[in-house]
Amino acid sequence: MAVTSEDLGNTGTLIYPSRIKLPYTWHAGKAGSRFYQGLRDNCRICGTKCPQCSWVYLPPRETCPRCYRIMDEWVEVSNVGTLLTFTVTRYAVPSIQPQEPPIAMGIVKLDGASSGLVHLLGGVDVSELRVGMRMQVVFREKRQGNYLDIEYFRPLKT
Amino acid sequence: MDRMAIVGVAQTKYQRRNPASHAELSYEVTRDALEDAGMTIEDVDNTVTVCNDFWDGRTISSMAITEATGSHRVPTTNVEGDGTYGALMGLMRILSGHHRVTLIVAQSKASEGIPSVITNAMFDPLYERMLGLDAINSSALQMRQYMSKYGVTEEQCARVSVKNHRNARNNPYAHLPLDISVEDVLRSRVLADPIKMLDASPVSDGACAIVMTDESAAKKKGKKAVWIEGVGHCADAYHLGDRDLADSPALEAAARRAYSMAGVNDPMKDIDVAELYDAFSYMELMWMEGLGLCRQGEAGAMVDKGVTEMKGKLPVNPSGGVLSAHAVQVAGLARIAEAVLQLRGEAGARQIHGAKRALAHGIEGACGQGHCVFVLGK
């Protein structure tokens, strides 16, 4: 193949565009599997509780990051909580984003949990979002046993 | 114990779409760092590369640059985190007693991939990754939590960006030297609020290399030795929701270790210049607090008072920082290289007069999950 000066552009070097496709399957582990089963089958959000520091972790996992103790106690938490922080993404990266921008996301600490859950926010004019707002979970109608079974958090209707 | 020294440094100019290949960038800084050290590749007895498979678009990416870094048939190891961790690895190789001269090379061409897609992949595929979280919007979550907890304002964050882009005008390697105002930052395009375009670092290609030696090799060869007085590193929890994103206990721990090793009692008094990993404007404020330069939530007021300006009590990022040139992973090693130039009195127009002790800092993971702190002295 002959390389012409047009191929080289103004840098004098070739640029080779390509794409990496990498299929992969992830095992959710014991804690993740139980979490997603509860979410899918009963709209229940359950975390694991540390026997030492009593923290309740979401997403649940088998080891307490703080105490390094095995956690085998499960605790159901509320589907209502407090908004710790939020952002609205304005740029589009279609291959990674679940919806078109603007995309509101936040971290919500559900009542009964010690850690926050990062998730999408919805059902609200984004200009009304405030740190400290009370939020509630909106479950997806057709749940598949993944993180998007929580469709989004919306402000709590009082 | 033997003292360890940095005897040579080199950087490329940082720019978007550098037409050089990964290997060409690596070769350029390897050659220049050796020349700076007054050494040849024969003097190097081991190498540490810093590159990452996702950013390089190939697996075992370090093996593809062995020739360019003089690593052919030489003990070589790769660090796929920030460049400061590459320097840490290099230090440990010499401390093992089996090596005396380590060449550390970091290279990155972030502009060849799609940074949001690559940084999205650092999040748990079963959880947060599905939300489209990436380096920008995850940092936006941190920025708002920090501002909200301590009453820090967008103006104070913008002031960091104004200062660093202005400092970058004195740095020939910088990607984005700019003369901008706080208003310009506040009015720049919103990426993920409260992060605006001018609160964010650019996507830069570039490379940096340093040569590290033990004391005797430094005294024999290195006319310009800068000494490693202390180092510390520490990591926080992986899931963002486990952390109070407004604070950085991992950085506090890393700094404590580095300070105790270096005999730094009061960093504001004992350190003359600091180069921090400010991937976003607010980060410089948070890292100043984590490093104990002031109390939690007070860095914004310090910046308001000009304490971190070129002529302030403790200049932060005279190079322009990561806000002015962000070759991912290279950027931490570049902080070390800049600190070395300051201590040698060779930082040109960005020189802090009489700098005797410098701090260099790197991060890895989302929202500064891990931190690495170096204290360097003359």
Measured in degrees and rounded to the nearest 5, phi and psi for residue B113 equal -110, -165
pLDDT of B308-327, one tens digit each?
Answer: 999 999 999 999 999 999 99
Cα separations in angstroms, B113 against B14, B119, B122, B225, B278:
16, 11, 15, 37, 21
Given a cut of 70, whether residue B111 has pLDDT beyond it is: yes
Tell whether A147 is within 8 A of chain B (Cβ): yes
Which ipTM score applies to this complex? 0.95
> Among A62, A65, A67, A63, which Cα is nearest to A35's?
A62
CA-based end-to-end distance of chain B: 18
By Cβ distance, the residue of A86, A90, A93 closest to B116 is: A93
Give pLDDT, residue A60.
96
* B127 contacts A116? CB cut-off 8 A: no
A-contacting residues in B 96-115 (Cβ below 8 Å):
114
Report whether B209 contacts B101 (CB < 8 A).
no
Average confidence score pLDDT of chain B: 96
Give pLDDT, residue A4.
59
Given a cut of 70, whether residue A2 has pLDDT beyond it is: no
> Among A103, A35, A41, which Cα is nearest to A75's?
A35
Separation between Cα atoms, residue B322 and residue A137, nearest integer Å: 38
Provide CATH code, domain B4-113+203-221: 3.40.47.10
* A109 contacts B193? CB cut-off 8 A: no
DSSP codes, B219-261 = HHH-TT-EEEEEEEEEE--SSGGGS-TT--HHHHHHHHHHHHH
Q: pLDDT-based confidence at A13, cuts 50/70/90?
A: confident
pLDDT of B128-182, one tens digit each?
Answer: 999 999 999 999 999 999 999 999 999 999 999 999 999 999 999 999 999 999 9
Q: What percent of chain B has pLDDT over 90?
A: 97
Q: Give the Cβ contact number of residue A37 at 10 Å.
A: 14
**What is the rounded average pLDDT of the residues B242-266?**
98
Give pLDDT, residue B344.
97
Looking at the DSSP bridge assignments, the partners of residue A110 are A81
Tell whether B16 is within 8 A of chain A (Cβ): no
Give pLDDT, residue A157.
85
* B242 contacts A65? CB cut-off 8 A: yes
Separation between Cα atoms, residue A60 and residue B290, nearest integer Å: 29
Q: Where are the domains positioned within chain B?
A: 4-113+203-221
Given a cut of 60, whether residue B43 has pLDDT beyond it is: yes
Question: What is the chain B residue with the closest CA to A114?
Answer: B242
Give pLDDT, residue B224.
87
Give pLDDT, residue A9.
64
Separation between Cα atoms, residue B237 and residue B242, nearest integer Å: 6
Q: pLDDT-based confidence at A40, cuts 50/70/90?
A: very high
* A115 contacts B190? CB cut-off 8 A: no
pLDDT of A111-132, one tens digit each?
Answer: 999 999 999 999 999 999 999 9
**What is the rounded average pLDDT of the residues A14-27?**
92
Give pLDDT, residue B218.
92
Give the number of residues written for chain B.
Answer: 378
Top pLDDT among B19 and B222 is at B19
**What is the rounded average pLDDT of the residues A66-80?**
96
* B140 contacts A91? CB cut-off 8 A: no
Tell whether B151 is within 8 A of chain A (Cβ): no
B122's CB contacts (< 8 A; 6+ apart) are: B135, B365, B366
Q: pLDDT-based confidence at B220, cuts 50/70/90?
A: confident
Looking at the DSSP bridge assignments, the partners of residue A103 are A89
Interior angle at CA B328, CA B323 and CA B334, nearest 5:
70
Fill in the DSSP letter of residue B96: T
Give pLDDT, residue A3.
56
pLDDT of B279-302, one tens digit each?
Answer: 999 999 999 999 999 999 999 999
Cα separations in angstroms, B170 against A95, B21, B23, B203, B236:
39, 27, 28, 20, 35
Q: Give the Cβ contact number of residue B174 at 10 Å.
A: 25
**What is the rounded average pLDDT of the residues B30-36?**
98
Given a cut of 70, whether residue A8 has pLDDT beyond it is: no
Report whether B152 contacts B289 (CB < 8 A).
no
| Relative orientation angle of helices B249-262 and B281-290, to the nearest 10 degrees | 50
